[in-house]
């Protein structure tokens, strides 16, 4: 259960080796979280994340194979994760950035980005939503992105998948209203993780640790949206309303 001061006891991560997820999970384990299920594609990275959380004090860390693209397995994955008891927080953290230029040359690469970031998230998100509804409590945290706020020339494939994911998550949150469960949409800007390694940093670049803090505070406060850093909310409010031509030149 999530206690009166906003500390959850159990966590499911979808995309268990994500840097942002690992930082968040560690923070939760340092508070009250004792049981963690890491769902992801089997790898040494995934096992290392499990080991790190055990070291941080989790009593039980389970690793469950999960591939966002293989949607017909999602029901079973979610069942397996919930078989050990209620899950208080589900962190939907998987995602791929993709190479914009390569995706434009080879649309099948863009399809894979869309499959993981949007289709996979819709599939597993609905399975999780149904579970949280029936257990009558819990928070689904979705890693959206500022990239979904307004598509940019330089990464509009990724941006459009996040726009879809963001709209889906808001709608799911509305659907869960009154069920005791809720959805927290997280919109980070540029975060220094393995996903962005080697890319040119944007203004207001932040860290996985800062996103983790924003997520845990969002769970505590009961908000439905958080931006990281928080002042991106105003920046994006402005960006959204810029004339198309101006935005095109600014957001290169």
Residues that bind ligand NAP (CB under 6 A): 15, 17-20, 40-41, 43, 45, 66-69, 93-96, 116, 143, 145, 188, 190-191, 193-196
Instruction: Identify which of residues 63 and 130 has a Cβ nearer to ligand NAP in the complex.
Output: 63
CA-to-CA distance for 216 and 181, rounded, in angstroms?
A: 16
Using CB under 8 A, which of 76, 111, 136, 194 touches another protein?
136
In terms of DSSP bridges, do strands 181-188 and 138-143 run parallel, antiparallel, or are they unpaired?
Answer: parallel
Query: 56 burial class (0-12, 13-18, 19+ CB within 10 angstroms)?
Result: middle
Instruction: With beta carbons less than 8 A apart as the criterion, state whether 81 and 87 touch.
Output: yes
Here the tokens at position 108 are 């099948």
Should residue 6 be labelled a site residue for another protein when binding is judged by CB under 8 A? yes
**Per CB under 8 A, which region of 6-14, 105-113, 197-205, 229-237 contacts another protein?**
6-14
CB atoms under 10 Å from CB of 119, counted, come to: 18
Q: Nearest 5 degrees, angle CA 194-CA 240-CA 95?
A: 25
For residue 19, the partner it binds in ligand NAP, another protein, none, with Cβ less than 5 to 8 A by kind, is: ligand NAP
CA-to-CA distance for 48 and 38, rounded, in angstroms?
A: 11
Q: Has 118 been annotated as catalytic?
A: no
Residues 88-127 that bind another protein (CB under 8 A): none
Should residue 167 be labelled a site residue for another protein when binding is judged by CB under 8 A? no
Instruction: Identify which of residues 23 and 132 has a Cβ nearer to ligand NAP in the complex.
Output: 23
Should residue 83 be labelled a site residue for another protein when binding is judged by CB under 8 A? no
Q: What's the closest the beta carbon of residue 172 comes to ligand NAP, in angstroms?
A: 16
Catalytic residue, candidates 66, 82, 94, 158: 158
Instruction: With beta carbons less than 8 A apart as the criterion, state whether 214 and 226 touch.
Output: yes
In terms of DSSP bridges, do strands 89-92 and 225-228 run parallel, antiparallel, or are they unpaired?
Answer: unpaired
Should residue 7 be labelled a site residue for another protein when binding is judged by CB under 8 A? yes
Instruction: Identify which of residues 133 and 192 has a Cβ nearer to another protein in the complex.
Output: 133
Q: Nearest 5 degrees, angle CA 160-CA 164-CA 169?
A: 145
For residue 129, the partner it binds in ligand NAP, another protein, none, with Cβ less than 5 to 8 A by kind, is: another protein
CA-to-CA distance for 126 and 123, rounded, in angstroms?
A: 6
| Residues known to be catalytic | 158
User: Under the rule (CB under 8 A), what is the footprint of another protein?
Assistant: 1-7, 9, 31-32, 86, 129-130, 133-137, 175-176, 178-181, 216-217, 220-222
């Amino acid at each position: 259960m999530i206690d009166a001061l906003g500390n959850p006891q159990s966590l499911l991560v979808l995309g268990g080796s994500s840097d942002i997820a690992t930082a968040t999970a560690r923070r939760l384990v340092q508070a009250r979280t004792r049981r963690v299920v890491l769902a992801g594609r089997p790898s040494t990275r995934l096992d290392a994340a499990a080991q790190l959380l055990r070291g941080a004090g989790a009593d039980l860390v389970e690793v469950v194979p999960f591939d966002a693209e293989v949607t017909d397995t999602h029901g079973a994955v979610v069942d397996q994760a919930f078989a050990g008891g209620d899950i208080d927080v589900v962190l939907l953290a998987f995602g791929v950035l993709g190479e914009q230029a390569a995706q434009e040359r080879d649309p099948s690469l863009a399809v894979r980005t869309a499959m993981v970031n949007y289709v996979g998230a819709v599939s597993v998100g609905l399975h999780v939503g149904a579970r949280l509804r029936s257990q009558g409590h819990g928070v689904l945290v979705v890693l959206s992105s500022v990239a979904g706020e307004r598509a940019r020339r330089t990464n509009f494939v990724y941006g459009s998948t996040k726009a879809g994911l963001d709209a889906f998550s808001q709608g799911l949150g509305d659907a869960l209203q009154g069920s005791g469960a809720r959805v927290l949409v997280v919109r980070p800007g540029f975060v220094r993780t393995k996903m962005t390694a080697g890319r040119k940093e944007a203004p207001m670049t932040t860290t996985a640790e800062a996103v983790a803090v924003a997520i845990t505070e969002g769970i505590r406060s009961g908000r439905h949206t958080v931006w990281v850093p928080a002042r991106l909310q105003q920046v994006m409010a402005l960006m959204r309303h810029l004339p198309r031509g101006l935005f095109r030149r600014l957001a290169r």
